[in-house]
Amino acid sequence: MIRRTSVSFPAQSREYYVDAAEAARFLSIHPRTLQQMARAGIVPAHPLGCGPRRFWRFLLSELDDWLRTRIDSSRGAVRVIARERKPQ
């Protein structure tokens, strides 16, 4: 007799793929820029389809990891200095 067991994964552990628009919002860049970076292999991306016109899907956790590896902490924090407005 073959005994089958049901494997269930917690719903919280599943991460869904997002499109370029949502991934670009996450990175605060333009979607077309993100698609160009995906085609060039700069960012972690998953192509759907074949040929030159692919749809790209992204995992936000992969983009977050990729972004964190690009941070250069040796340079220190960036300080923003507000400009004073000249009286008119």
Q: What is the pLDDT of residue 57?
A: 96
Rounded CA-CA distance 43/23 in Å is 11
5 belongs to a structural domain: no
9 belongs to a structural domain: no
Residue range 2-24, pLDDT digits in tens: 555 555 555 567 899 999 999 99
Residue 62 has pLDDT above 60, yes or no: yes
Rounded CA-CA distance 65/13 in Å is 17
Give φ, ψ of 19 to 5 degrees.
Answer: -80, 180
81 belongs to a structural domain: no
Domain span at residue 64 reads 15-70
87 belongs to a structural domain: no
46 belongs to a structural domain: yes
Please enumerate in sequence order all residues whose Cβ is within 8 A of that of 58, keeping only pairs 6 or more positions apart, or say none: 17, 18, 19, 20, 22, 23, 34, 38, 43, 44, 45, 46
Q: What is the pTM of this model?
A: 0.66
58 belongs to a structural domain: yes
Into how many domains does the chain fold?
A: 1
10 belongs to a structural domain: no
- Tokens of residue 53, six digits: 């016109």
The enclosing domain of 64 has a CATH number of: 1.10.10
Q: Would you say 63 and 52 are in contact if contact means Cβ atoms under 8 Å apart?
A: no
